[in-house]
Amino acid sequence: MDAADIGLPTRGGEVDSATLNSADPAAGRPEFCLAQGRVHSFDATAPDISFQVNLPTSWNRKSVQFGGSGFNGIVVTGLGVAPGFVNDDPAQGQPPINRGYVTFGSDGGTAVGTSPTGSFALNKEALANWSGQSVKRTRDAVITIVNRYYGKHPDKQYYVGASKGGHEALIAAQRYGDDYDGIIAYYPAIENQAMVLSWYHIWQQAYGRPGGYLNPAKQQLVTDAVYGTCDKLDGAVDGVISNVRGCDDAFSVESLRCPGGTDNSDTCLSETQIQTLQTAASRYSLAFSLANGVTGIGPYPVLRGADLAPLMLDSAGNGEATGYHTLFAPVIRYFIQQNADGSLVNFDYRQYEKRVKELSGLLNATNPDIDRFAHHGGKLIIVQGTTDMAVPEALTNAYYERMAERYGPSIRRFVRYYVVGGYAHGIGRFDLAWDSLTALDDWTSRNNPPANPVATDANPAAKNRTRPLCEYPLWPKYKGHGDVSQAKNFSCVGQGHR
């Protein structure tokens, strides 16, 4: 393909291989052509964008672009289920390729080979691709191939993603809205700099202060205490906290304080350990504003039933190979300090104010303006969990509220935002399975917006229990009678979030 086929600067691209895959009836997969190729970076020193596109012989005239994850760098095949890395429970629906969609994904143009994670950010174009420009470059290259293969463009073009892919999904709506008819964003990582700085701050409280860390026994103590107080607040003792605002009011971590505030037992918390949790459970305010007026982030749901794994030690006992450290360390070193030998010791983001603001403007997906996407009929579904320790619910809530302020009641014509109790970052005590792609397609193709959607818990022990999927700020409350495993016995009520 020529550079002119792609709406951002490149040196064109090419298909490296194309293989016709026979139908696999056992897997429900049709015959399709699997093509792999590259979009050549404009800067010859930047990584190319490698992609895969799957072209079914019997095509439904629609396409699904899959978002990436983490720091990208690995080609997303587009052969999985929507919206990206979620469970394979049947309630999730068949993979789009099985339904006749053209599907595709890329590595985001950030492959580093044997170099350190995140080191691509030292190259300006690779960082721009990670910011979301790869969404456009990949889309334009693949749609060119689709047009040449079938002799026509898709009637409907969808984007689906979670976490980093959710960030990219909202970038698609905000920056490239004319290209898409429907978008699904699960727990979108929309403000990289605020997230990274807050993760670093929380991690410092656990490891940077003597006695701040909670060992596994103390983490379990907190979890048991929170659920003992808050599980029942939605009317059903079922291992899921849906009324999180009620939980904020009902549970006090001070109830776990050790006598004298000193660490003398695994059956209580020291003053320092309580401060660790309170730090995470409080809004983290920044010293200056980021893009689109973001001034802080949080709270994180450590006292709302979240798994405290991001505070866990690794096998070596140093806390540097798991949890938040693996996420914030590359960003601080390669994005902010721009130094492969940069140090996290005594890192103070205030010394990098200009760079942090610059990165926020480049990387954020917090712009409430999706006018172009909405005006041509685009539909957006956002899903967030209450126990997500990577992307806190409060961050996604704040973004939706800015959109609602911009569009008023008309927002429901093109946006639906669902918050799921007990759902975390693709897993959780309630492991959400929902055929969001069918819901999106019904909305865009037949103007049938989601009506009383039902979510299934894909955890094996849950035995396919269901809950109503409630639009923010509502939450599912048990009616007081009937099987607590059935969605029909719950109602979406209240103002149960903040």
Residues recognised as catalytic = 163, 388, 425
**Taking a C-beta distance cutoff of 8 angstroms, is the pair 476, 246 a contact?**
no
DSSP string, 314-361: -TTSSS-SSTTHHHHHHIIIIIIS--TT---TT--GGGGHHHHHHHHH
- Distance linking the first and last C-alpha atoms of the chain: 49
Tokens representing residue 91 in the block: 């309630």
Q: What are phi and psi of 202, to 5 degrees?
A: -65, -45
Check: CB of residue 362 under 8 Å from CB of residue 127: yes
Q: Dmax over Cα atoms in the chain, in whole Å?
A: 76
Task: Provide the β-strand partners of residue 433.
Answer: 456
Distances (CA, A) of 50 to 57, 191, 217, 311: 23, 25, 45, 35
Q: How many CB atoms lie within 10 A of CB 295?
A: 14
Q: How many residues does the chain have?
A: 498
Peptide bond into 460 cis (omega under 30): no
Q: Are 23 and 29 in contact (CB under 8 A)?
A: yes
Cα 103 from chain centre: 20
- Per-residue tokens: 457: 């818990």
Closest C-alpha among 457, 448, 459 to residue 485 = 457
Task: Evaluate whether 103 touches 44 at the Cβ level (below 8 Å).
Answer: no
Q: How far apart are CA 50 and CA 73, in angstroms?
A: 9
Please answer whether residues 212 and 272 qualify as being in contact, where contact means their C-beta atoms are separated by less than 8 angstroms: yes
Place of tokens 């298909």: 15
Residue 66, H or E segment: strand 62-66
Query: Which residue, 313, 315, 337, is CA-closest to 325?
Result: 313
Alpha-helix residue ranges (DSSP H) falling in 151-185: 164-175
CA-derived radius of gyration, the chain? 23
